Amino acid sequence: MTSTEAFDAVQIITIKRDKGTLTPEQIDWTIDAYTRGVIAEEQMAALNMAILLNGMDRAEISRWTAAMIASGERMDFSSLTTPDGGRKPTSDKHSTGGVGDKITLPLAPLVAVFGVAVPQLSGRGLGHTGGTLDKLEAIPGWRANLSNAEIMAQLQDVGAVICAAGSGLAPADKKLYALRDVTGTVEAIPLIASSIMSKKIAEGTGSLVLDVKVGSGAFMKDEARARELAETMVALGKDAGVHTVALMTDMSTPLGLTAGNAIEVEESVEVLAGGGPEDVVDLTVRLAEEMLAGAGIHDADPAAALKDGRAMDVWNRMIEAQGGDPRAALPVAKESEVVYAPADGVLVELDALSVGVAAWRLGAGRARKEDTVQAAAGVRLHAKPGALVRAGEPLMTLLTDTPEKFDRAKEALANAVVIAPEGSRPAHRLIIDRIA
C-alpha cells in the first residue's frame, strides 16, 4: 500500500470479519485496488471468506456490483432501431446452469422474431454443467468470438446473437471468480449474485430474465438458498434500473433427452422445427414470454412462432452470420453403449447430477478451463420420470469417441435411476416459482 491509498486491505477485512458494514467508498476502493494489484490475493481471499461467513446487506451488494461494472466497459444498444425508426428493445436471459440446459439456443431466435434484440453473451462449460458456446461450436464453421461492432451489426440485422463475452466487461469479476474458485468461496451468495449481475448489467440489456436452477444437477441444490440468490439478483437488477425477473426451475432431472454438445444442438433444432421434448418447449416458451413482457411486448405468441417456422428462420440467419452452416451434418460419436432398465415399473427418478457427470466423463465437459471437449460425446435419454419401463429396455445411450471412458461414466450412473411399482408418480415441478 502506498501513502496515497484511501484505505488499507486489513482495515476492510477486519470490518467484515467483525460483521460490520462497508461504506460505498470502501467498496469502490476495494474493487479498484484489487484490480490494480494493490490488494494481494491472500488479502482478497480473506475478505471473500469473511463475506461468505457474515454476508452483506442489499446496499453493500448493490455497490459491490456497481464497482465491478465500473472496472470495465459497458455496452450500449441505444443505437439499435426498429424498421419504423424507433428504438429496438433489448432483453436477455441468464441460467445458473444445469444438465441438458440448451434453452438459450432456441430461445434467443424465438424472442428475436418479435422485434426484440437478444444480446446473449454466454460461456463455456466446466464440470458437469454444459456450456452454451461448447454446444454451438459443434456446428461446422460457427465462431464464438465477435467484436463489439460485429455484435451490434448482427443485433440490428438478425436480432439475436449468442457469443462469448469480451474481456472488457467487468474484468474485476474474472479475477475475483478465479480466486473464489480456489479458496472455497464460490458459494457466497453476495459474490455469486454480483458476479452474474455485474456482467449482465454491463452488457447493457434493457430487461433480464434469470433462470435459477434448483436440484441435484444445479449449482444451488437447496431451494431456500436458490430463492435467496434469485431475490438478491432481482434486487440488484432493480437497483441498476434493469427490469429483472427470476424463474426458479427444477434441475433434479435433466432437461430434455440429451446431455452433450452436438446432440443438444440437434434437440434444439427439433424444438425450433415445432417438435422436441415437452419440458424444453415449455420452458423455452415461458422464458420467451417473460423476456418479451420485460421488453414491453405482451400480445406475442412464442409457441406459435416455434410451430410455424419463424424462429427457425432467425436461427438459420443467426448461425450463418457467425460463420456456421445450419444445414451441415453435426458430429456423430464413434462409439456408443446402451444402459438398460434393471426392472419393470415407473421411472420416478433420473438424477441430473449423475447424468451430467457421466456426460462429462464421456468427454462432453472439461475439468479445467484449458481442457478440450468432444463435440459428439454425451448421454441420450430414452425415458424420463413418469415413463413406464420394462426390464431390459434401453434407458440411455452413452456416446463418446474414446470407449475407455465408458466404465467411469457407468460408475456415475450406478444410483441415477429409481424405478417404482406401476401407478407411482414422480414428484417434479418444472417451474417452482417466479420472483419479481
Count Cβ atoms below 10 Å from residue 227 Cβ, excluding itself: 18
DSSP string, 157-212: HTSEEEEEPPTTS-HHHHHHHHHHHTTT-TT-HHHHHHHHHHHHHHTT-SEEEEEE
Residue tagged active-site, from 63, 88, 93, 94: 94
Residue tagged active-site, from 92, 134, 173, 351: 173
Q: 147: exposed, middle or buried (C-beta count within 10 Å: 0-12, 13-18, 19+)?
A: exposed
Q: Is the dihedral of CA 320, 326, 329, 331 positive or negative?
A: positive
Residue tagged active-site, from 63, 102, 199, 227: 199
Asked about 369 being catalytic, the answer comes back as no
CA distance 267 to 379: 12
CA distance 270 to 284: 13
**Rg, the chain, Cα only:** 22
Q: In this structure, are residues 57 and 21 in contact, taking their beta carbons and an 8 Å threshold?
A: yes
Q: In this structure, are residues 78 and 43 in contact, taking their beta carbons and an 8 Å threshold?
A: no
Asked about 195 being catalytic, the answer comes back as yes
Q: How far is CA 395 from the centre of its chain?
A: 27
Asked about 216 being catalytic, the answer comes back as no
Asked about 128 being catalytic, the answer comes back as no
Residue tagged active-site, from 91, 95, 122, 195: 195
Residue tagged active-site, from 180, 227, 361, 405: 180
All three cell numbers of 268: 434444439
Asked about 57 being catalytic, the answer comes back as no
| Of the candidates 121, 88, 117, the residue with the CA atom closest to the CA atom of residue 203 | 121
Q: Is the dihedral of CA 284, 116, 307, 267 positive or negative?
A: negative
All three cell numbers of 170: 467487468
CA distance 132 to 163: 9
Q: Which residues belong to the active site? A: 94, 173, 180, 195, 199
